[in-house]
Amino acid sequence: MTAHTDEPKTPQSESAAALLDRAARAAAAGMSADELRALLRGDPPTDRPNPRYRAHVESFFLHIRPRTYAYASTWFTHTFRLGFFAVFLALVEAITGILLMLYYVPTPAGAYASIWRLQTAVPWGEVLRDVHRLAAELMVAVVALHMLRTFLTRSYKGPRAFTWITGVVLLVLTLLFAFSGYLLPWDQLAYWAVTIGSSMADGVPLIGPRLRDLLRGAAVIGPDGLLCFYQLHIVLLPLLAALLLGVHYYRVARIHGISLPARVEEGDMPEAERQAARRKVDFLPDLLTHEVVLAVAATIALIVAALFFYDAPLQSHADPLRTPLEAEAPWFFLWVQGLLKLGNKTLMGVAIPSALLALLALVPFLDHNPSRLWRRRPLALTLAGVALIGFGVLSYMGSPSYGITLPAATEISQRLAPEEHRAGLRAVPFAQLPVGVYVVGKTDPATLPPAFAPVFADLARRVDAATADGRLPDARALLIIEDWQTGLKRATLRIGWSDPAGAGPRTFERTIYLPDAAGSHARGPARSAQSSALSAPPE
């Protein structure tokens, strides 16, 4: 600040100013203290040629950014900042991922416990995991939307064709990242989603089974499979992604820039407006400020979401011997699961997705339309619409409930208390589960505690519906709730019916264990016992 006063300078203050200036030049990529001050204040450059352009030469991180953007290419509604957010989320993933590696143990015996330890014993550990998971799913969505935007604005013309192809590869890498990370918590959700996913490799002609075993490390996923996915997730894919992102990003930044909106490029507006839209805007300082605002605001949003609105799922420990009733693919692969319900693995699981991918990569070479304006691209836009609807329909068909019918009694029991989700009976507060025998058709839900009543009413409704449509003739259902230990109740669901084929009475019984998740359990001894249990002889 002393450098800017108008008073005559003493030799000492001059040397202080010179020192400050030297420090500024060293730290701010060649910009003087005066220049840095003007930059921060939003004043025009202090010198000619613009010393801020010099910073783009001297600093590596500014050097990979363009010095200027065409004004129209910075319009929010042109890009929605989707490319920016894709890179931002990739950085979030890298940072949270590295921190998570400090606590994660990539072995079947240690993985699941290390996730719980992260959530119970590491301050901010749960936020770290939630943000990593949330940002991963957002990244899949953002990258896909980024590609959709690029298609809709036809921003893959000319030199951008190759950039588009690197983008398609990055989309595939993003999906592989999400999928390889899926296994790491080593819970039922992860284990079975990846078992189904890796069985897709079976469908590859000739090398299928070998490829599958290579991926899984054995016939079923075990220690080697977990290690394989872990190293894919933290070493191989990051290296490939850094390589591809480097190419993709540098091409956008230095070779061809962000495309102009079609109506600016093709002169579909008054000439004066067009000139204004094409003028150059400096990256420093206003665009950088804009990016800082977006990045910090998005960081806040992610942390707030992790704290209050989003819990990364964690089901029970992976068990190769216990297949879940309803195995779920991650939402971004539901369309493949939908395809698989239509045909065999080789055609539906491998051939069609690969063909779609190849088609996607070749889009710039198939589209010979000279115009980028929407009204002159009816065919391309119709195809995009059809593809989107197709993905929507296939994803719906891929959901667990579509086209797969559980036996009626199993279905009723699953809706009453899903195996893994905190829903139905499992969501009722412990205190609102009074001990007793509740008989469908005899017990009036109105007499039950408020949280339990709708669950029981729903059970009664489903039993009645199954009786009415003949799946469970003469169904009789009852629910027994017993105290088992302090903080632990046992619910027994019993359904009896006459076999529709006339083969006599049938029964279904299931026990559901309902612990009090609100605390007051004796704990400590059991957990600390685990480590010493294997070394100390009983007596």
Strand partners of residue 436: 481
Q: Which is nearer to other proteins, 58 or 482 (CB)?
A: 482
Q: Are 58 and 29 in contact (CB under 8 A)?
A: yes
Q: Which is nearer to other proteins, 232 or 512 (CB)?
A: 512
**Dihedral angle computed from the Cα positions of residues 124, 129, 133 and 136, in that order, rounded to the nearest 10 degrees:** 80
Binders of other proteins among residues 417 to 436 (CB under 8 A) are 435-436
Q: Which is nearer to other proteins, 354 or 528 (CB)?
A: 528
Q: Which is nearer to other proteins, 177 or 438 (CB)?
A: 438
Least separation in angstroms between CB 72 and other proteins: 15
Query: Does 469 participate in binding other proteins (rule CB under 8 A)?
Result: no
Least separation in angstroms between CB 14 and other proteins: 30
Specify the amino acid at residue 261: P
Q: Which is nearer to other proteins, 15 or 485 (CB)?
A: 485
Query: Does 437 participate in binding other proteins (rule CB under 8 A)?
Result: yes
Q: Which is nearer to other proteins, 297 or 388 (CB)?
A: 297
**Binder of other proteins out of 68, 399, 492, 498 (CB under 8 A):** 492
- What's the token pair of residue 259? 């495309």
Residue 230 CB coordination number (10 Å) = 20
CA-CA distance, 249 to 63, in Å (whole number)?
A: 12
CA-CA distance, 258 to 70, in Å (whole number)?
A: 8
**Binder of other proteins out of 11, 270, 450, 538 (CB under 8 A):** 538
**Binder of other proteins out of 271, 368, 486, 501 (CB under 8 A):** 486
Q: Are 32 and 242 in contact (CB under 8 A)?
A: no
The angle that helices 33-41 and 11-27 make with each other, rounded to 10 degrees, is 60
Query: Does 451 participate in binding other proteins (rule CB under 8 A)?
Result: no
Query: Does 14 participate in binding other proteins (rule CB under 8 A)?
Result: no
By CB under 8 A, which span of 151-159, 238-246, 334-342, 528-536 interacts with other proteins?
528-536
Q: What is the DSSP letter of 445?
A: G
Q: Is 499 left (phi over 0), alpha (psi -120 to 50) or beta?
A: beta
Q: Which is nearer to other proteins, 352 or 488 (CB)?
A: 488
CA-CA distance, 346 to 215, in Å (whole number)?
A: 17
Q: Which is nearer to other proteins, 18 or 292 (CB)?
A: 292
CA-CA distance, 66 to 45, in Å (whole number)?
A: 17
Q: Are 90 and 73 in contact (CB under 8 A)?
A: no
Query: Does 516 participate in binding other proteins (rule CB under 8 A)?
Result: yes
Binders of other proteins among residues 143 to 182 (CB under 8 A) are none
x-or-dash string of contact with other proteins, 84-113, rule CB under 8 A: -------------------------x--xx
Binders of other proteins among residues 393 to 412 (CB under 8 A) are none
Q: What is the DSSP letter of 330?
A: -
Least separation in angstroms between CB 126 and other proteins: 6
CA-CA distance, 293 to 288, in Å (whole number)?
A: 9
**Binder of other proteins out of 8, 370, 450, 524 (CB under 8 A):** 524
Specify the amino acid at residue 484: W
| Number of residues counted as binding other proteins (CB under 8 A) | 74
- Look at the block and give the residue holding tokens 């500024």: 24
- Look at the block and give the residue holding tokens 């949270």: 96
Strand partners of residue 317: 187
By CB under 8 A, which span of 165-173, 340-348, 374-382, 485-493 interacts with other proteins?
485-493
Query: Does 525 participate in binding other proteins (rule CB under 8 A)?
Result: yes
Binders of other proteins among residues 294 to 323 (CB under 8 A) are 296-297, 299-300, 303-304, 307, 316-317
Least separation in angstroms between CB 231 and other proteins: 23
Least separation in angstroms between CB 532 and other proteins: 5
Q: Which is nearer to other proteins, 246 or 515 (CB)?
A: 515
- What's the token pair of residue 39? 């930059």
Alpha-carbon torsion 365, 366, 370, 376, what sign? negative
Residue 6 CB coordination number (10 Å) = 5
Q: Which is nearer to other proteins, 399 or 414 (CB)?
A: 414
Contact residues for 100 (Cβ-Cβ < 8 A; gap 6+): 118, 128, 129, 132
Binders of other proteins among residues 271 to 290 (CB under 8 A) are 285-286, 289-290
Q: Are 257 and 70 in contact (CB under 8 A)?
A: yes
- What's the token pair of residue 162? 């190759």
CA-CA distance, 169 to 349, in Å (whole number)?
A: 19
Query: Does 119 participate in binding other proteins (rule CB under 8 A)?
Result: yes
Q: Are 497 and 472 in contact (CB under 8 A)?
A: yes
Query: Does 513 participate in binding other proteins (rule CB under 8 A)?
Result: yes
Binders of other proteins among residues 200 to 229 (CB under 8 A) are none
Binders of other proteins among residues 21 to 50 (CB under 8 A) are 42-43
Query: Does 413 participate in binding other proteins (rule CB under 8 A)?
Result: no
Least separation in angstroms between CB 492 and other proteins: 8
